[in-house]
Amino acid sequence: MKRMEEAKQKYDSIPIPKELSERVMAEVEKAAARNARKRPAEKRHFFVPRGVAAAAAVALLFTVGVNTSEAFAQGISNIPVIGALAKIVTFRSYKTETEDLKVSVVIPSIEMISEELNGLEKGVNEEIYTFCEQYANEAMERAEEYKQAFLETGGTEEEWEDHNITIKVWYEVKSLTDQYLSLAVMGTENWSSAYSETKYYNFDLKEGKWITLKDILGDNYEQDVEKSIRFQIEQREEETGLEYWTDDWKGIDKSTKFYVNSIGNPVIVFDKYEIAPGAAGQQEFEIVKVGEEMISTQKPEEVKSSDQYEDNFAVDQEAVLEFARLVKEAVAEKNVEKLADLTSFPTYVGLSDEGLIVETREDFIALGAERLFTDDMVNSIAGADENTLSPSMAGFTLFDKAGDPSITFGVRDGRLGISGMNY
């Protein structure tokens, strides 16, 4: 634990290059000038005074994406717009592969469509860009140091190749509704979980501001959330036998990680080893508040449900295994319709070139087998071991190795269904 904390502190202390901001603003100014020259005279007045200022960072990221990715440019017209307020675009995506390691980086950009939101995404887009690039660069340095230590302690080049070192940086849209935008940006290394990092960005589109737990749950959020989490922990320990590390837990504060789910509830996130053994993975706790009461502090028998399952933790193992088997079968057959039948809509499909909120079965089928069943996705799901699946607030996730494409399914309206696919 101490070594992991020291490593994380070292990583967090790395300064952000000053020249990054200068390059960003320089490119923004050049892009704005080029666009102004190309537009007809009667349109210039509309864009120059507020449009460029309100979307400065996005202008850079959007321009980079269009100029460097043909797939990105072709996919712009298909970017989902929720409530005509915001959208997420993939402005940069690249893969690097050598004899020593594989690197995959997909960087998102938040674009606020409404001028009333005052361009609040500008600083965040620069922060996201810096995080993604910095994580990838630092991870490659760590992999090189790991290789050197491996060889110096008697390992061979042939044995090193078997490590199949993979570095992945990507994102997931946790929710994108008419009120909330919640985005997770992640970096992982398959040889070490100690350096994995996830950052969450949560925005209230109606209020036009980045939100905190206090904004959602009120002034007493620290005590309320801690009470809810401790109750949920007691339930999980009884049901699973997993022992949580609550003696040293210092509770909730404004730095606590969380995202907002599709129904507007905050979900508290604990990293591996933070509150439970690493084998238990990342731990999530949904906080549901109705009036002044937390639903999650009620006894299970007091929570009424007219459907088959109340939540992911209520699903019996046999049902999980059967559903996972059906998912694996549909992917192995590359059968889009069969996979659509297993999907709850709307669902998130995080393709390598863009992230989509797919609203209907017809829209899902229209994506086509070629886009949905990539070689990496098919291989990852084929190698996934459904017998190791365990519930979380997000559901059950099928994948082979850390960083591989995955399919997540869970309870919605009382029944199991696919809630997301990430590439």
* Domain co-membership, 170 together with 252: no
* Domain co-membership, 352 together with 412: yes
* Domain co-membership, 39 together with 139: yes
Q: Which residue has the tokens 């101490």?
A: 2
Cβ-based neighbours of 238, under 8 Å, separated by 6 or more: none
Count of domains observed in the chain: 3
Residue 313 to residue 191: CA distance in whole angstroms: 30
* Domain co-membership, 183 together with 114: yes
> DSSP state, 401?
S
CATH of the domain at 272: 3.90.640.20
Domain boundary residue, one of 274, 302, 330: 302
Domain boundary residue, one of 172, 207, 242: 207
CATH of the domain at 139: 3.30.565.40
Residue 140 to residue 97: CA distance in whole angstroms: 12
pLDDT of 192: 66
Domain boundary residue, one of 279, 302, 325: 302
* Domain co-membership, 199 together with 247: no
In a domain, 88, yes or no: yes
* Domain co-membership, 218 together with 203: no
In a domain, 138, yes or no: yes
Phi, psi for residue 243 in degrees, rounded to 5: -100, 120
In a domain, 48, yes or no: yes
> DSSP state, 404?
S
Residue 211 to residue 202: CA distance in whole angstroms: 6
Q: What does the pLDDT look like over 232-269, one tens digit per residue? A: 998 888 887 888 998 888 889 888 999 998 888 999 99
pLDDT of 70: 39
Question: How wide is the angle at C-alpha 29 spanned by C-alphas 26 and 35, nearest 5°?
Answer: 140
In a domain, 295, yes or no: yes
* Domain co-membership, 189 together with 296: no
Structure tokens at 402: 């850390």
Residues 349 and 358 sit within 8 Å (Cβ to Cβ) = yes
Q: How many CB atoms lie within 10 A of CB 66?
A: 15
pLDDT of 137: 92
- Buried/exposed 360-376: b ≥16 CB within 10 Å, e otherwise: eeebbeebeeebbbeee
Report yes or no on whether pTM surpasses 0.75.
Answer: no
In a domain, 100, yes or no: yes
Q: What is the chain's pLDDT, residue by residue, as a tens digit (423 residues)? A: 443 344 344 434 444 444 444 444 444 444 445 444 443 433 333 233 333 333 333 333 433 443 334 343 333 333 333 343 678 888 889 898 887 788 999 999 888 766 665 566 778 888 999 999 999 999 999 888 888 898 899 888 888 887 788 899 999 889 888 788 999 999 988 776 667 889 999 988 888 788 999 999 988 899 889 999 999 998 888 887 888 998 888 889 888 999 998 888 999 999 888 898 877 778 899 987 654 455 554 333 333 333 357 788 888 888 899 899 999 999 999 999 899 989 998 899 998 878 888 988 888 999 999 999 999 999 999 999 998 898 887 889 999 998 899 999 999 877 899 999 999
Cβ-based neighbours of 277, under 8 Å, separated by 6 or more: 242, 243
Residues 409 and 327 sit within 8 Å (Cβ to Cβ) = yes
In a domain, 377, yes or no: yes
* Domain co-membership, 181 together with 245: no
* Domain co-membership, 202 together with 227: no
| Residue span of the structural domain in which 276 resides | 214-302
Cβ-based neighbours of 190, under 8 Å, separated by 6 or more: 164, 165, 166, 167, 168, 401, 402, 403
In a domain, 293, yes or no: yes
The residue type of 257 is K
In a domain, 307, yes or no: no
* Domain co-membership, 151 together with 253: no
Phi, psi for residue 335 in degrees, rounded to 5: -100, 100
Parallel/antiparallel/unpaired status of strands 165-176 and 101-112: parallel
How many Cα atoms within 13 Å fall on the side-chain side of residue 155? Answer: 15
* Domain co-membership, 194 together with 54: yes
* Domain co-membership, 13 together with 155: yes
Beta bridge partners of 345: none
Burial of 218 (0-12, 13-18, 19+ CB in 10 A): exposed
Dihedral angle sign, alpha carbons of residues 398, 404, 407, 410: positive
Residues 380 and 400 sit within 8 Å (Cβ to Cβ) = yes
The 3-class secondary structure across 153-178, one letter per residue, is CCCCHHHHHCCCEEEEEEEEEEEECC
